[in-house]
Amino acid sequence: MKTLLNAFAVALAGSLNFGTFSALADLEVSGSARIGATADFHAPLSAHGAWIEVGSYGPCWRPASVAVEWSPYSYGHWVWTDCGWYWASDEPWGWACYHYGYWVYDPIHAWIWIPGIEWAPAWVSWRVGGGYIGWAPLAPVHVRVVSPRFVFVDVHRFREPLRPSTLIVNNTTIIQKTTVINNIKHETRRLDGSGSQKVVINEGPGMDVVQKAAGKKVERASIREVARQTPAPAGLTAKAGESREKPSVAPAGTERVGPQPEQPPRPPGPAPKRGSFQGNGGLKGGKGEGKAREQGLPGPGRDK
């Protein structure tokens, strides 16, 4: 079992090499939010959870009132759009935490979300085969994934409303029958007849396998229309026709397709050790490992 998971981790690590890109996506395709910095998430998410400091990751958000068996991307459904598979969450904070940033599992705090500022239909990797489709949240680029927490569903039920009780978690037999698919990419597209823009595409298993299981054609939805059904809070809503511009060039060393977080200024002293993700055990870090403090709004210099 240990050998299988280690081999799987190596395969996944290779598949997550997305290559380099010259820029982040230009703007959110939904047009429903204006996110200019990670600080924009603090007030809206504080009503649904707590901001905590976790090891070398800095301020992270932890959802409140979730069950022990809860995991990201487990309350909602998948929608096929012109930007690939979109996660339509049933949770009130889903507009943020499934379309920006990273999820990691910490041994003390369970699932925590690390803010990022690039929008995507979903930040997940996939496994497909043997009549199943599975997905797992993408972790930050510097986190070593040893045994990621994939959840699976029968391909015939993939587009149904999903709950933890309908998902199969890290089943070794299914893992052996499935293949990793990571085809997240940047493309320049025209959406709904609007001007060209760079967007993040996550097609995952594609449509053919789902359509074959359904026995009928599945229509492709407009990403803008679908995203509007999970609106951001009023304070972050953009006016009609407005868009938030993003940097044209990502900072050196971060030009990778995947959620790109704004990094807080590093405090004086030795650099913190980079973390590693130990299966469902979580993070390994430096002296700050496992320690957390409740956070309100970020202090000066915390966010750009």
Residue 114 inside a domain? The answer is yes
Three-state DSSP at 7 gives: helix
- Tell me the pLDDT of the chain (304 aa) as tens digits: 444 444 434 344 433 433 333 345 554 555 456 688 899 999 999 999 999 999 888 899 999 999 988 999 999 999 999 999 999 999 999 999 999 999 999 889 999 999 999 999 999 999 999 999 999 999 888 877 677 899 999 999 999 999 999 999 999 999 999 999 988 999 988 776 667 788 999 999 999 999 999 999 999 999 988 988 877 776 665 443 344 444 333 333 323 344 444 433 333 444 434 344 333 334 444 333 444 433 333 333 333 3
Percent of the residues in the chain that have a pLDDT greater than 90, as a whole number: 48
pLDDT of amino acid 237: 56
Note whether residue 123 is domain-resident. yes
Q: Is residue 251 part of a domain?
A: no
Q: How many angstroms separate the CA atoms of 158 and 83, rounded? A: 18
Length of the chain in terms of residues written: 304
Whole-number Å distance between alpha carbons of 156 and 216: 12
Residue 163 domain flag: yes
Contact 34, 238 (CB under 8 A): yes
Of all helices (H) and strands (E), which one includes residue 168?
strand 168-169
Decide if 141 is inside a domain: yes
- Report if residue 255 sits inside a domain: no
pLDDT score, position 29: 55
Domain that holds residue 214: 2-238+270-295
Indicate whether 195 belongs to any domain.
yes
- Alpha-carbon span 260 to 251, nearest angstrom: 10
pLDDT at 47: 93
Residue 177: predicted pLDDT: 96
Domain count, the chain: 1
d(CA 204, CA 267): 39
The pLDDT value recorded for residue 196 is: 79
Is residue 250 classed as helix, strand or coil in its secondary structure? coil
Q: What is the pTM of this model?
A: 0.72
Straight-line distance from the first to the last Cα atom of the chain, in angstroms, rounded to the nearest whole number: 44
Residue 10 has what DSSP assignment?
A: H
Does residue 190 lie in a domain region?
yes
